[in-house]
Amino acid sequence: MPSLSLPKALALLASLAINFSYAAPTLRADAPANNDAIVADLITAPTVIKRFRELLTDAGQTALSGDALAKASIYDFNANSVPIPGSNGGKVGAALVDTMPYLLDSGLNTNLGYVGPCGVLVPHVHPRASEFFTVVAGELLVGTIPERGLLNDGSSPLLTNNLTQYQGTLFPQGAIHYQQNLACNQVVAIATLSNADPGTTPYTFPVKPGSEGNTTTVKRQGDASEAEEWAAIKETLPWYIVEPADECRQKCGIA
C-alpha cells in the first residue's frame, strides 16, 4: 500500500483527541439511529423532572426497569468505542449529550480511552470545558500550555508531567494539551469534562511548505495502516512529541 500523503494525514486528525467519539448511542430499544430528535424534545421540556419522565418512564405511567432502564441510563464504553489514529491501536468511547441524552444539562462528559504502546493523543483544546484526566492503568506523559502570561515576560512555557496509575491532572478550558505513551504496554485513562458538549479542536499543523489540509474538518482514513498513519501524522507534530515517540517505537520493536 502506498504511503499516506500529508493532506490524507490531516484527514486522520478529527478523531485524535480524547473525546472525539460519536459512537452509536444505546438509549432505548426502539431508539432512532441518532439522538437528535430525542435531545430536541428534552430541551423543550419545561422542567427537569418532565425531561426525566420522557427518558426514564413509559409515558409517565410506570418507571422503566431492566434492559429498558439500562439503555436509557447506562453508557456502554465496551460497545461504543472508536479507533484513535496515532495511538497505535488505541480507542476511545465518549459519553456526550448526543450519545447519551441523559447527560443533558448535567455539565458532564466522560471518556474512557486506551492508548497503545508509543501512542500519542495529539495536541488539542476543548473550547467549552475543563478536563480532569486520570490514568487507571499504565503511565502517560502529559503536556499542557496555559494561556499567555504565565511568566512575568508574558510567555507560557510547555508544562509536562508523568502520570502513573490512579494519578490525575487538570487541563483548564481552552489550554492546549496532549498525552503520550512512552512505554511498550497499553495505557487506560478516564477523562471527565465540565460540559456535556465540550468540543475538541486539534492543534496540529503541516510543517512542509505548500502542504494542504484542514485539521479541524477531517475524518479518519480507515484503509491506512498504523505505521502509515504515524508516518503521516508525525509531520504535523512538534519535535518534542515526535522524537520520543520514534525512540519508543524503536525500543518496542514497532515498525
Per-residue pLDDT of the chain (255 residues; tens, 9 = 90+): 334 343 433 333 333 343 333 332 333 334 445 888 888 999 999 999 999 999 999 999 999 999 999 989 998 888 776 766 666 666 777 888 888 899 999 998 999 998 999 999 999 999 999 999 999 999 999 999 999 999 999 999 999 999 999 999 999 999 999 999 999 999 999 999 999 889 989 887 765 555 444 443 333 444 557 777 788 888 889 999 999 999 999 999 987
Centre a 10 Å sphere on the Cβ of residue 78 and count the other Cβ atoms it contains.
7
- pLDDT at res. 207: 56
Residue 92: inside a domain: yes
Same domain, 66 and 126: no
Same domain, 234 and 128: yes
Residue 29: inside a domain: no
Query: Which of 28, 52, 73 delimits the end of a domain?
Result: 73
- pLDDT at res. 22: 30
Q: How many helices (H) and strands (E) does the chain have?
A: 6, 13
Same domain, 172 and 209: yes
Same domain, 125 and 187: yes
- pLDDT at res. 115: 92
Domain count, the chain: 2
- pLDDT at res. 155: 93
- pLDDT at res. 19: 38
Rounded to the nearest 10 degrees, the angle between the axes of helix 36-44 and helix 48-56 is: 140
The CATH number assigned to the domain holding 99 equals: 2.60.120.10
Helical spans, DSSP H, in the chain = 6-10, 36-44, 48-56, 66-73, 226-233, 239-251
Same domain, 69 and 151: no
